[in-house]
Amino acid sequence: MEALRDVSAGLRWYELWLTLGWRDVLLRHRRSKLGPLWISISMGFVAGCMGTLYSAIMQRSPHDYIPYLVAGFTVWNLLSAIVNDGKEVFVANAAAIREIPVPNTVYVYRFLWRNTLILGYNILVYLIVLVIFQVSPFPALALAIPALILILLNGVWVGLLLGLINVRFRDFGHMIPSAMRLAFFVTPIIWYASSVSGLRAAFVHFNPLYYFIEIFRAPLLGEAPSALVWGVTLGITILGWGVTLPIYAHWRRQIAYWV
């Protein structure tokens, strides 16, 4: 119950975390003229360079491959940021946690909002790609909204759980980025799920990240995600919250001592 109260109390501090999240994005590009547009530019390079090279390697037409790559990469950027920033959520806010009594979930909403804004800059490139390759993702595109909400809903428990583990066991934080780097290559983002079969298909079927990529990428490409994808992601959402809430409720008071 106390954990849930933290979750809702944090929402009431929206003016604080909206401000902090937006400042985070601007701060990263301080003194640069283009500012956060650099996020879009680097995604543009991915589309242009990786898109043309890998479409040849994968033997796909750039017309199909580049929208697929940009959509997948955009979703991946969000997912990997949720995991990588999520584990830092308490460590990165140590100064605030020691000085100011605001609900800990404020810091979770801060990093989720920051990464939603970054997603927005990546989506700009996706929109340009749609125009160039004349892809029309309607009407399935509307499903991108519930997909995003579901991903962010998972972001809350991921932040609370990984943040809590990392604040106590710092080695955990060093392990995650390398695990995520590996996950990028074994998850169908630059390659297609349909191109592996047999035992290797385990990297698709037993990879939770695949389902979270697919739930958002499919609508971006004008396809409806399958019932299996919705089922697995919903299941993970329920499981994740179910595991996190009691753990967070038990240890939340220790966070101030551990940071």
Partner 1 sequence: MPLIRLENVTLDFPLVSTKSRKAALQSQSPGTAVGGQLAAAQSGQLRVRALEGLSLSLNPGDRLALIGHNGAGKSTLLRVMAGLYAPTQGQAVVVGRVAPLLNLSFGLDMEATGLDNIFVRGLFLGMSRAEIKEKLNSIAEFSELGEFLDLPMRTYSSGMRARLAFAISTHVDADILLLDEVVATGDAAFFRKASQQLENVASQAKILVLASHSNKVLRGLCNKAVLLEHGRLKAIGAVDEVLEAYKSASV
30 contacts partner 1 (rule: CB under 8 A): yes
Report the residue number, 94 or 141, with the smaller CB distance to partner 1: 94
Cβ-count burial of 253 within 10 angstroms (0-12 exposed, 13-18 middle, 19+ buried)?
exposed
249 contacts partner 1 (rule: CB under 8 A): no
Report the residue number, 13 or 38, with the smaller CB distance to partner 1: 13
63, amino acid identity: H
Residues 61 to 90 in contact with partner 1, rule: CB under 8 A:
none
33 contacts partner 1 (rule: CB under 8 A): no
Cβ-count burial of 242 within 10 angstroms (0-12 exposed, 13-18 middle, 19+ buried)?
exposed
The answer to whether 219 touches 142, Cβ cutoff 8 Å, is yes
> Could you tell me which residues come within 8 angstroms of residue 208 by beta carbon, excluding any fewer than 6 positions away?
232, 236
Q: Which stretch binds partner 1 (CB under 8 A): 98-106, 158-166, 178-186, 209-217?
A: 98-106
20 contacts partner 1 (rule: CB under 8 A): yes
Q: Which position among 66, 71, 97, 232 is part of the footprint of partner 1 (CB under 8 A)?
A: 97
Report the residue number, 30 or 33, with the smaller CB distance to partner 1: 30
98 contacts partner 1 (rule: CB under 8 A): yes
Report the residue number, 201 or 256, with the smaller CB distance to partner 1: 256
Report the C-alpha gap between 236 and 79 in whole angstroms. Answer: 14
Report the residue number, 13 or 184, with the smaller CB distance to partner 1: 13
28 contacts partner 1 (rule: CB under 8 A): no
131 contacts partner 1 (rule: CB under 8 A): no
> Smallest Cα–Cα separation from 194: which of 64, 93, 107, 106?
64
Q: Which stretch binds partner 1 (CB under 8 A): 13-21, 137-145, 148-156, 158-166?
A: 13-21
Report the residue number, 19 or 52, with the smaller CB distance to partner 1: 19
Closest approach, Cβ 34 to partner 1, in A, equals 18
Q: Which position among 15, 59, 178, 197 is part of the footprint of partner 1 (CB under 8 A)?
A: 15
Contact footprint for partner 1 (CB under 8 A): 13, 15-16, 19-20, 23, 27, 30, 95-102, 168, 253-254, 256-258
